[in-house]
Amino acid sequence: MPHALTTADLFDAPPLPRGLEYHADFLAVDEEAALLELFATLPFREALFREYTARRRVVRFGFHYEPDEHAWREIAPLPPLLAALRRKVAAFRGVDEHDYLHALVTEYRPGTPIGWHRDRPQYGRVAGISFASDCRMRFRPYDNQHDRSAVVALELAPRSLYVMEDDIRWQWQHGIAPTKGLRYSVTFRTRAKAREERGTSNEGRDRTSGR
């Protein structure tokens, strides 16, 4: 059973916001090795957003929300190893694997950051798995962005799983500090329910991302 992070693990850090979970050693070493071999074969491209090109490179599978079209589009089926990883995450969370309709594989070369943002409101629950190198993921309240004491940071170790839903998903922003080594992540997302999309009316002022 993966180790679940508790408030005590953070020492003097603020309590974990509601909806944020961290589970160390979610994957075995051989599972990570097999997926890293898969990543080496994927056609990564720079992540493109409306106004800029990000430094990280990505490959998307399943269904992706196209903001310019205001529609969901099916991209490509998940490779077998990614499908197996999705089943493992879904079983761990007690949900149907097909609830995670979007899968994103991201490559972070050394020094690659992600700025503060919330994911697009069309996506719902988020589950992310880390590979190869660790990184620091930071969270801050959306309505209290300038109070540095309100920031919560997690060290994401290789083979770990984090989950974002409820408050952490809709009322907080997150970002990743520049990575020290080559890192990969797999992010699975569900489709947001209508009431959740309506709860993020500030999207125009927020730098959202499809990560």
CATH of the domain spanning 14-209, picked from 2.60.120.590, 2.30.38.10, 3.40.50.12280, 1.10.357.10? 2.60.120.590
Tokens of 208: 């959202």
Distances (CA, A) of 196 to 119, 127, 142, 200: 12, 17, 16, 7
Q: What is the pTM (predicted TM-score) of this model?
A: 0.85
> What are the pLDDT digits (tens) for 140-198?
998 877 777 789 999 999 999 999 999 999 999 999 999 999 999 999 999 998 656 54
At a CB cut-off of 8 Å and minimum separation 6, what does 7 contact?
A: 15, 16
Closest CA to 57 of 77, 78, 42: 42
Instruction: For the chain, give every domain's residue range.
Output: 14-209
User: Where do the DSSP E strands lie in 37-160?
Assistant: 45-48, 53-66, 71-74, 102-108, 114-119, 123-131, 135-141, 152-156
At a CB cut-off of 8 Å and minimum separation 6, what does 91 contact?
A: 97
> What are the pLDDT digits (tens) for 76-98?
999 999 999 999 999 999 999 99
